Amino acid sequence: MDALRLGSLTESSPSPKAALAVSAPRRDLVGHVIAALSRESSTDALYEHAMDAVATALEVDRAALLIFDEHDVCRFVAWRGLSDAYREAVTGHSPWTPRELQAQPIQVADVRADASLAHLASALQDEDIRSVLFLPLVGRARVWGKFMLYSATPREFTSAEIDTAQHIVREIASALDWRERDRELLEERGLFAAGPTVVFKWRNVPSWPVEYVSANVDAVLGYAPDTLTSGRVPYGDIIHPDDVPRIAAELDAHLAHGTEWFEQEYRVLHADGRVRIVTDVTKLVRDAKGEVTHFLGYLIDVTERRAQELEHARIAEQVQHAQKLESLGVLAGGIAHDFNNLLVGVLGNASLAMEELPEHSPVRPLLEDMQVAARRAAELTRQLLAYSGKGRFVVERVELASLVREMQRLLAAAVSKKAHVVTELRDDLPTVRADATQLRQVVMNLITNASDALGEAPGTITIRTRRMHASRAWLSGAQVGRDIPEGEYLVLEVADTGCGLSTETLPRLFDPFYSTKGVGRGLGLAAVLGIVRGHQGAVRITSTPDVGTTVAVLLPVEDAERRAPAHEDEPQNTRGTVLVVDDDLAAMRVAQRILERDGYRVVTASNGREALERYAESGPSIQVVLLDLTMPELSGWETLRELQQLDPSVTVLLMSGYSQAPGANLAGAAGFVAKPYSTVDLREAVGALLPRRAA
């Protein structure tokens, strides 16, 4: 079609007078068309009217209007004197694409002499068409389509005729532009009318009277538009009264600094009384003198979004707090483990030295004081291990009600004299698998905290036990153990009517050495955290300032199938060979001295690999392997598995500054001894296993 465009406007030029003679009525026709197009409300009627106008102006009896559809296919929308077969044959043909905004008219004086239309030659011949004129409908952002004028004889349209046709075509394209813009505006209005964005215009005078508000204000804020525009409800009355001073001050600042656009966030009062949060984006409207007369802006209800952000922030804070506690637990456990290894040397060597001294030796009191100090240090490590969740557990079946009753006299001495202690203890509850000593520490810590919350004022402390099904929703509100599985649990609950806790205090309750009493007094609830975490339980604390606090400790109900077998009678010691495996040289030497003094033959190994070699060399002669769990490279658990592969009947006594969790499977080991141990502890633990091996 480029060849057609290059030679398209060859014409027989009329005289200026002739051109003037025909231009006046055509100008009238163009004006008439423009007026008519502006009145047409239907697009189809516009097409038909345009078709008649162009056909009349150029005195042709065959014409067509084709428009690009949504797939950019040029299709007939109006025509004169054309058969169905012809329209079907040429649908889709166009010399331009919708994006060729520089498109110009193209005329072909004789289609039979134009090779570019050869593919349409048959259709043109059947329709008896010899000449055509292409007129593009070029809009502001696209080519809408094309006008086609046909003649049965070779013909060249004059420039005046083409100019007249182009005037009409441009008006049609302009009309289509306006209709497209109207459609877009309707869509935009529909978006605002049904969406969450409310458009406002209010005057720059006190109370901010509303001049315009979009209809969707009813759906968003609950007010009918005329309620606001009439002034029955001033816009200032919608803003939350606590936010009005800030909003007014910000507005004054924007006016003083000449800000054109600004954004604010504040609370508004819904018509039903609910408090909503909105983002307000505002533009200043000025008069000819530059004075601000109005504010034009839009509001978006962001209440749900802010609630989600707060929830995400709360969850992130909880995760961060849990990670902090976990990190502190790892640190505390590591310190306690290493410290316990040191205490093994102190206690063990002191015990051995005591056995060598005469009863009235002046050195004995010094060694006794050393042992007392070491035991106190061991107690501190037990608290650290409790906090880390790796404390020493003597696992047994515990009845919560009985445990609390046994402590009642001790609890009475621990609470304020003005405190009234109430017990609601149920005896029909199942047992829990737990360390009774650790649970007593939990009860004592909770009762002490409850008494401190009462202070010098009279009040009530309630201790109750019950059974409950912990749902996922209940556990999600727990401060400790929210990830444990939902199910049946026993609950130990301590409630007080004391001063209560603030929302700022609650997240810090489990921090080590944190106290609401001015000075930190120990691990406190941090130890409770570790004990409960080690028992696979949960802690949930609810508190209201000046009302009181309730602490609920959940412990898993004992599974009857997992109950520990009855203890055997204490076996008689039998001397034999013991393989001591410990990467701490001092601890290993202490164990060796204690056992050798008691008549055992001791083989030592400083790591797991060496232990496997020693056992492979003299396995049949080794009755017991005393194996430390925490070693580099090959851990105690890994060494245990390797030993069991060498000898399925191997007898292994585990030891560690840590300890197993209650009810944990010892993976086939015969027993466990916690560091630091005394000479008696180690002798009894090893001696209890030798007859079992011999049997």
Query: Quick one: what percent of the chain has pLDDT higher than 90?
Result: 15
State how far Cα 625 lies from the chain centre. 49
Residues 68 and 177 in one domain: yes
**Tens of pLDDT along 15-26?**
333 333 345 555
Pairing of strands 131-138, 143-151: antiparallel
504 occurs within a structural domain: yes
Residues 274 and 337 in one domain: no
CA-to-CA distance for 424 and 272, rounded, in angstroms? 45
Has residue 10 got a pLDDT over 50? no
Residue-level pLDDT at 146: 92
Q: Which domain holds residue 16?
A: 2-187
Residue-level pLDDT at 395: 67
Residue of 69, 51, 47, 72 lying closest to 60 (CA atoms)? 51
Give the pLDDT band of residue 32 (cuts 50, 70, 90).
Answer: low
**134 vs 172: which has the higher pLDDT:** 134
Residues 77 and 123 in one domain: yes
306 occurs within a structural domain: no
256 occurs within a structural domain: yes
Residues 79 and 19 in one domain: yes
Average pLDDT, the chain: 79
CA-to-CA distance for 110 and 152, rounded, in angstroms? 10
CATH value at residue 152: 3.30.450.40
CATH value at residue 609: 3.40.50.2300
Final residue of a domain: which of 139, 156, 187? 187
CATH value at residue 379: 1.10.287.130
Give the pLDDT band of residue 96 (cuts 50, 70, 90).
Answer: very high
CATH value at residue 261: 3.30.450.20
Residue range 214-221: average pLDDT? Answer: 84
91 occurs within a structural domain: yes
Residues 28 and 169 in one domain: yes
Pairing of strands 671-674, 548-556: unpaired
Has residue 437 got a pLDDT over 90? no
Residues 349 and 438 in one domain: no
Token pair belonging to 509: 């309750």
Residue range 385-393: average pLDDT? Answer: 53
27 occurs within a structural domain: yes
CA-to-CA distance for 582 and 682, rounded, in angstroms? 14
Residue-level pLDDT at 510: 65
Give the pLDDT band of residue 144 (cuts 50, 70, 90).
Answer: very high
572 occurs within a structural domain: no
Cβ atoms of residues 124 and 89 within 8 Å: no
Residue-level pLDDT at 630: 81
Q: Which of 101-115, 555-569, 662-676 has the lowest mean pLDDT?
A: 555-569
Has residue 57 got a pLDDT over 70? yes
Token pair belonging to 586: 């001092």
Q: Is 606 helix (H, G, I), strand (E, B) or coil?
A: coil
SS3 for 432-455, per residue? EEEEHHHHHHHHHHHHHHHHHHHC
Q: Which of 68-77, 85-94, 173-182, 318-327 has the lowest mean pLDDT?
A: 318-327
Give the pLDDT band of residue 511 (cuts 50, 70, 90).
Answer: low
491 occurs within a structural domain: yes
Max Cα separation, the chain?
148
Residue-level pLDDT at 326: 62
287 occurs within a structural domain: yes
Residues 133 and 199 in one domain: no
Highest-scoring range by mean pLDDT, 3-17, 96-110, 439-453: 96-110
Final residue of a domain: which of 134, 155, 187? 187
CA-to-CA distance for 540 and 491, rounded, in angstroms? 10
- Number of structural domains in the chain: 5
Q: Could you tell me which residues come within 8 angstroms of residue 68 by beta carbon, excluding any fewer than 6 positions away?
A: 74, 75, 94, 98, 142, 143, 144, 145
Q: Which of 134-143, 329-338, 343-352, 547-556 has the lowest mean pLDDT?
A: 329-338
Helix residue ranges per DSSP H, 244-302: 244-257
Q: What is the pTM of this model?
A: 0.37
Residue range 372-399: average pLDDT? Answer: 64
Q: Could you tell me which residues come within 8 angstroms of residue 507 by beta carbon, excluding any fewer than 6 positions away?
A: 317, 321
Residues 446 and 549 in one domain: yes
User: Cis omega (within 30 of 0) on the bond before 676?
Assistant: yes
Helices 525-534 and 364-388: crossing angle in degrees, nearest 10, is 70
Residue-level pLDDT at 580: 92
Residues 460 and 490 in one domain: yes
Residues 632 and 686 in one domain: yes
CATH value at residue 491: 3.30.565.10
Has residue 7 got a pLDDT over 60? no
Final residue of a domain: which of 278, 301, 324? 301
Residues 489 and 553 in one domain: yes
Residues 338 and 430 in one domain: no
Strand segments, DSSP code E, in 21-179 are: 62-68, 74-80, 106-108, 131-138, 143-151
